[in-house]
Amino acid sequence: MTIGDGMPRWELHISIASMAALVVLTGAAIGLVQNGLSMSELREAFPFITALSLGAIAIVLGSVLPDIDGNGRIRWTIGPVMGAFGIVPPFIGRSLEEGFTDGMMFIYHDGARLFLLFTAIGFSFLLVPFKHRGKMHSIYPAVIFGTAWGLYTWSCVSLGIEHAFLVGGLGTFGYTWHLAMDGKLTF
């Protein structure tokens, strides 16, 4: 990520605005909890909370993923990053359905294997001779990532299809956000 020519670019403003929106949403969610709502009451009162939390995770993953074509250390980091994010949707799905303890049990058993699998998939990208800020820095992989992540999340957490779209859309948004910061918002 580079910020060129002194003046902050428009992309930077959008990013800061999005960040502010996310902070406000988080604050509102925490406020609701502190008013004595339990997690299940909160989900009843605010059905979007699960999809929004999953969407926030999708934004973060999407905003680091384009640098999978980076040089050196960053490409080695992407493997475990993918591993860590890969176990989040099934963990949340399990926790919502069977309780937090079951979610933790998932992480100790199947989750650990899933972490290794996703990490291996991330590392396999080391074999692809990418050009930094090349093909992976464009809208197409952003849409593909959002779609794949939305579907993966949908298969792990019982969400309505419109909520799965929200999660996938926010993933594409995070990826696009990174492209904008790099000044690479192209097709």
Q: Which residues bind Zn ion (CB under 5 A)?
A: 66-67, 182
Pairwise CA distance, residues 131 & 2, whole Å: 17
Pairwise CA distance, residues 168 & 150, whole Å: 4
Q: Minimum Å distance from CB 134 to Zn ion?
A: 10
Pairwise CA distance, residues 75 & 152, whole Å: 23
Q: Minimum Å distance from CB 118 to Zn ion?
A: 21
Closer CB to Zn ion, residue 36 or residue 129? 129
Closer CB to Zn ion, residue 38 or residue 186? 186
Closer CB to Zn ion, residue 67 or residue 93? 67
Closer CB to Zn ion, residue 57 or residue 142? 142
Quick check: 82 and 121 in contact, CB under 8 A?
Answer: yes
Radius of gyration of the chain (CA): 18
Closer CB to Zn ion, residue 43 or residue 133? 133
Residue 95 sits at the vertex; the CA angle it makes with 89 and 100, to the nearest 5 degrees, is 135
Q: Minimum Å distance from CB 67 to Zn ion?
A: 5
Identity of residue 42: L
Quick check: 66 and 137 in contact, CB under 8 A?
Answer: yes
- Alpha-carbon distances of 106 from 52, 83, 93, 111, 138, rounded to whole Å: 23, 14, 10, 5, 35
Q: Minimum Å distance from CB 59 to Zn ion?
A: 15
Q: Minimum Å distance from CB 100 to Zn ion?
A: 36
Residue of this chain nearest to Zn ion (CB atom)? 182
